Amino acid sequence: MKKTILSLTLAAGLLTGCFAQTSPLPVELLMGNGRSWKGNLIRRDGDWIEFQTKTAVRPIRIGASTVKELKFKVDVDADKISKMMEARQFNRIITTLSKSIEPFSEYSDISSNLTKYNALLMELYHRTGKYDNSLAISEEIARDNRNPLLQAKAQTYQALSLIESGKSEDVRALFAEYGWQQETSKEASPEELYIKAKLLVLNGQYSQAMELVARIVAFNSQDPDWMQPAEMLCAEVYTELGMYDSAEEVCRQILILYKNTPEFDKAKKLKIKIEKLRAEKQVEESLMSEEV
């Protein structure tokens, strides 16, 4: 069985299929026939798990593939996480969440209530530029059809992580896998428009990308989830086109309107980049003038 991201990033020392001795983990075990039990996971032995109810004398062996879902008791302080989010301590949240779910890593191939924590890690990894980590998690969540909305979100992060990593061919393969249309219809969602605009930018097709960005801004002004990224992408495209004044104006608006957002962070970095590019351009023009 293929391990999920928990196995990849949090439990490198555990080998799939090896007999592992761990501390008992409180859990509610849901089976495919609708029955459920509360007790403890004792250990993992390859394709088998050992489970013991609170009243049983001995544990029983259960095939991992027969388990519908595991509901773990996860030690996560939601208020603490919320405060760290407000303080923009994203790497600290990643560390905290990772440590909290690490004890369950050897059961990560079984559906569980850990998905919501992985979903947050997926977003935070993307937000901090760790696109490979975000991609690994999004691939796993995208295969889980229990929550269609979360599944669709994971598919979006799959595409965005591939784009940010410069893997345009993989993005096209993903489009084919999910049946996403190459041509953009008039009814296209803002996330579809944004993903395709990002891919066009990756391919250097800036004019076409701006057309899609304009559609997002024109028809989704009340949707901050896509309006803000679209405006940031607009500033980035202006920068690529050498339209530094326009890019700086968009950055200025973002810094005023969208404090404590990913776009706010990106706008600050882009302004520094523009200043550097403008200075380099002035040096080049000065050298050319002296040569003439």
Sheet arrangement for strand 19-31:
60-63, 48-53, 36-45, 19-31, 67-72
Calpha distance 21→44 (Å, rounded): 7
Cβ count near 148 (within 10 Å):
9
Calpha distance 72→112 (Å, rounded): 7
**199: Cα separation from own chain's centroid:** 17
* Between 16 and 164, the higher pLDDT residue: 164
pLDDT at 20: 41
pLDDT at 123: 95
Q: How many CA atoms lie within 13 A of 271 on its CB side?
A: 13
Region of poorest pLDDT, from 125-134, 213-222, 243-252, 263-272:
213-222
pLDDT at 159: 94
pLDDT at 292: 57
* Domains along the sequence of the chain with CATH: 181-292 (1.25.40.10)
| Helices and strands per DSSP (H, E), number in the chain | 12, 5
pLDDT at position 133 over 70? yes
> How does pLDDT run across 195-214, given as a tens digit for each residue?
999 999 999 999 999 999 99
The stretch 135-140 carries a mean pLDDT of 95
pLDDT at 183: 72
The two structure tokens encoding residue 217: 């801004």
> How does pLDDT run across 146-160, given as a tens digit for each residue?
889 999 999 999 999
pLDDT at 281: 84
The stretch 102-117 carries a mean pLDDT of 92
Amino acid at 219: F
Task: Tell the residue number behind the tokens 């009243």, with chain if given.
Answer: 55
Query: Residue 18: which pLDDT band, with cuts at 50, 70 and 90?
Result: very low
- Residue 179's contacts (CB-CB under 8 Å, 6 or more residues apart) are none
Query: Residue 34: which pLDDT band, with cuts at 50, 70 and 90?
Result: confident
CA-to-CA dists, residue 69 to 24, 104, 208, 256, angstroms: 17, 13, 45, 45
pLDDT at 19: 38
> How does pLDDT run across 218-261, given as a tens digit for each residue?
888 888 889 999 999 999 999 999 999 999 999 999 999 998 88
